């Protein structure tokens, strides 16, 4: 047995889609590395990919017929597109061009690869590669966001000199990182005995039947945590404010509006939970009184709103924490670490994720996030900018470490 064949990829069927970018030549190295880890690799190429690397190269390396044409009678007779999709234990597209990402996000199936994309039911991993201005384009970002929300794993491209001689992000991720993400799809659930309660999204504090006070939380961070926890085998309960993000099918979801409703739902579920992860952006204040009817502007030139403090959910639950693990977030615009440490102490948290929400690229309503994970001691793990799903895994890793240190 070759070294590495006992790993997560041993005997796994990897269907590798190659699309037409300069990084396509690196797909050859990917085939070799996946095989070195014990995987069986079969390749499907788009027509443009064949301009960058010959199908014969991929066929010789993989040892399997390369899928090229939807309408080839011989190909469809020996192994059709549905058979290929069913064969795969994991579907990897590397490099994934902006064009492919756009089609995958919209569900367009106009060649063999995009048709397979709609037919696979296994985990999907994409490794995008393109010019840095294309990578930054809002259309590409939106399409990727759609795919990430559907549970697709994205291996973020690297930065550096690109084939077009420009500098910036967009270079196909390193082969080792792509293979690691593919192998990660088969990791045994390290959270399988753990019941995780995750809060997500904003709360809405009504002023009258049509108006409310709220914040910009989209729920993406909380739902990413739920997706990652489900994938790692945890039993997940989500309590969410009003958001549009889709929840993983395996998690139960309770929907709330106000901070008080969120507290009341958490109180019901907490006895059956091991971890509480408070990613929700809970409103600290609510209108002191809620008008029964819509407030009319009439002759009013000004309206003074009186707000009352909402209960602090974590502080309220602190006396009932028992042996549970509490993880909080600190959304900060300045003095991030200092404020986060203070909050962790006041709220009795085992871990706090300090989140800089002053920029446009991370924090609220974005697909990416960054921050620092702090424990009660001196640990400070810096999490650089990455997808919220990737960051969720980092947070769960840190939480699991503390959980084990507590003797669980």
Nearest to 152 by CA among 386, 391, 390: 390
Q: Does 284 bind ligand PMT (CB under 6 A)?
A: yes
Of residues 363 through 392, those in contact with ligand PMT by CB under 6 A are 363-365
Closer Cβ to ligand PMT, 182 or 354, answer by number: 354
| Minimum distance from residue 107 beta carbon to ligand PMT (Å) | 25
Rounded-to-integer distance, Cα 56 and Cα 65, Å = 9
Closer Cβ to ligand PMT, 147 or 281, answer by number: 281
Q: Does 259 bind ligand PMT (CB under 6 A)?
A: yes
Q: Are 31 and 109 in contact (CB under 8 A)?
A: no
Buried b (16+ CB within 10 A) or exposed e, 308-317: eebebbbeeb
Q: Does 131 bind ligand PMT (CB under 6 A)?
A: no
| Minimum distance from residue 381 beta carbon to ligand PMT (Å) | 16
Q: Does 9 bind ligand PMT (CB under 6 A)?
A: no
The residue assigned the tokens 């919209």 is 106
Report how far Cα 263 is from the mean position of its chain's Cα atoms: 26
Q: Does 331 bind ligand PMT (CB under 6 A)?
A: yes
Nearest to 146 by CA among 154, 157, 158: 154
Closer Cβ to ligand PMT, 117 or 149, answer by number: 149
Which listed range, 101-109, 186-194, 275-283, 400-408, lies at the site for ligand PMT (CB under 6 A)?
Answer: 275-283
Closer Cβ to ligand PMT, 75 or 274, answer by number: 274
Q: Does 280 bind ligand PMT (CB under 6 A)?
A: yes
Of residues 202 through 221, those in contact with ligand PMT by CB under 6 A are 217-221
Q: Are 273 and 317 in contact (CB under 8 A)?
A: no
Does the annotation count 185 as an active-site position?
no
Q: Does 241 bind ligand PMT (CB under 6 A)?
A: no
- Which entry of 106, 122, 164, 185 is annotated as an active-site residue? 164
Q: Does 355 bind ligand PMT (CB under 6 A)?
A: yes
Phi/psi-derived region of residue 151, left when phi > 0, alpha when psi is between -120 and 50, beta in every other case:
left
| Minimum distance from residue 198 beta carbon to ligand PMT (Å) | 11
Rounded-to-integer distance, Cα 291 and Cα 125, Å = 50
Q: Count other Cβ atoms within 10 Å, centred on residue 287.
A: 17
Q: Does 148 bind ligand PMT (CB under 6 A)?
A: no
Nearest to 150 by CA among 192, 108, 106: 106
Nearest to 163 by CA among 92, 95, 68: 95
Q: Does 34 bind ligand PMT (CB under 6 A)?
A: no
**What is the SS3 assignment for 196?**
strand
Residues contributing to the site for ligand PMT (CB under 6 A): 201, 217-221, 259, 278-282, 284, 310, 312-314, 328-331, 343, 347, 355, 357, 363-365
Instruction: Write out the catalytic residue numbers.
Output: 164
């Amino acid at each position: 047995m070759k070294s590495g064949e006992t790993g997560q990829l041993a005997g796994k069927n990897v269907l590798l889609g190659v699309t037409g970018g300069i990084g396509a030549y690196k797909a050859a190295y990917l085939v070799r590395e996946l095989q070195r880890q014990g995987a069986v690799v079969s390749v499907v190429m788009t027509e443009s990919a064949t301009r960058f690397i010959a199908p014969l190269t991929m066929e010789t390396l993989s040892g399997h017929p390369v899928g090229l044409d939807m309408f080839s009678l011989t190909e469809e007779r020996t192994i059709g597109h549905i058979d290929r999709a069913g064969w795969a234990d994991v579907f990897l597209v590397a490099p994934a061009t902006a064009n492919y990402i756009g089609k995958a996000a919209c569900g367009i199936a106009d060649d063999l690869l995009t048709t397979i994309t709609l037919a696979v039911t296994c985990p999907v991993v994409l490794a995008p590669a393109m010019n840095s201005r294309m990578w930054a384009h809002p259309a590409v970002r939106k399409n990727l966001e759609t795919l990430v929300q559907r549970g697709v794993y994205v291996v973020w491209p690297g930065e550096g000199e690109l084939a077009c001689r420009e500098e910036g992000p967009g270079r196909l991720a390193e082969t080792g990182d792509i293979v690691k993400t593919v192998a990660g799809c088969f990791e045994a659930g390290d959270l399988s005995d753990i019941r995780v309660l995750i809060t997500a999204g904003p709360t809405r504090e009504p002023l009258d039947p049509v108006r409310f006070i709220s914040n910009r939380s989209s729920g993406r961070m909380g739902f990413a945590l739920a997706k990652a926890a489900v994938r790692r085998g945890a039993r997940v309960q989500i309590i969410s404010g009003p958001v549009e993000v889709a929840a993983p099918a395996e998690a139960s979801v309770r929907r709330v509006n106000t901070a008080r409703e969120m507290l009341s739902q958490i109180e019901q579920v907490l006895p059956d939970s091991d971890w509480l992860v408070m990613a929700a952006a809970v409103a600290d204040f609510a209108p002191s009184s809620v008008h029964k009817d819509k407030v009319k502007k009439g002759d009013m030139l000004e309206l003074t709103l009186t707000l009352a403090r909402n209960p602090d959910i974590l502080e309220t639950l602190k006396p009932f924490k028992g042996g549970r693990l509490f993880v909080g977030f600190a959304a900060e615009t300045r003095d991030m670490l200092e404020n986060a440490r203070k909050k962790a102490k006041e709220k009795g948290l085992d871990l706090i994720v300090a989140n800089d929400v002053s920029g446009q690229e991370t924090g609220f309503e974005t697909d990416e996030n960054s921050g620092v994970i702090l424990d009660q001691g001196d640990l400070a793990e810096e999490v650089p900018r990455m997808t919220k799903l990737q960051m969720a895994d980092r947070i769960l890793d840190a939480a699991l470490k503390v959980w084990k240190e507590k003797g669980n």
